[in-house]
Amino acid sequence: MGPLSRSFYERDAAQVARELLGTVLVHRSPEGTTSGRIVETEAYFGKGDPASRASRKRTKLNELMWWHGGLAFIYMVHARWMFNVTAEREGVPGAVLVRALEPLEGVELMKRRRGVVDKLLLTSGPGRLTQAMGITYEHHKLDLTTSRVLTILKGPSEKFDVARSHRIGVSADLKRQLRFFIRGNPFVSGGKL
């Protein structure tokens, strides 16, 4: 299972969001390695997407959304880090928020970082998963296609049912349903941060 390629990310953000389901996010840190299967994502675009950080104009905070696909785009919401990956080709803003993971490797380390013992509370939400995985702003701008520290690997080929809905916790949304999740997976966030 190798890292996803640049061409995987340099496509429509909604397509990338859907196809990230079942892939594996890996963080190799001095404390140990943690990994989780991506089970929930949301796609974001640029101008015309009222829920996007890039809806109005290019700023220092959203600059990375205009860069090439496959970069870690990390920012804070409600005192929690959010892990996104850039999508689309250079010059076209797009990103995918990773909302939930199914823990695979380093579960004990995740429990220590989160201060909880219930496996279902480790990574079922975008803020929870960054805390459990040890992902912070120091990982912002890492190239997920080449980084040995933070990467997304192809997952094992398995069948699962993909469900969709509107994005969670946004005050204004597009008509398109841009939240994707593995139906029936117990680690899907259900709207939790």
Give residue 43's Cα distance to chain centre.
9
At 61, which amino acid appears?
L
Beta strands in 94-161 (DSSP E): 95-105, 150-153
Residue 188 included in any domain: no
Number of structural domains in the chain: 1
* Angle, helix 126-133 to helix 107-114, in steps of 10 degrees: 110
pTM: 0.92
28-39 pLDDT, tens digit per residue, is 999 999 999 999
Which residues lie closer than 8 Å to 177 by C-beta, 6 or more apart? 164, 165, 166
Domain residues for 40? 6-182
Residue 191 included in any domain: no
Q: Which CATH number does the domain housing residue 36 bear?
A: 3.10.300.10
Residue 134 included in any domain: yes
Helix (H, G, I), strand (E, B), or coil: what is residue 13?
helix
66-107 pLDDT, tens digit per residue, is 789 999 999 988 899 999 999 999 888 899 999 999 999 999
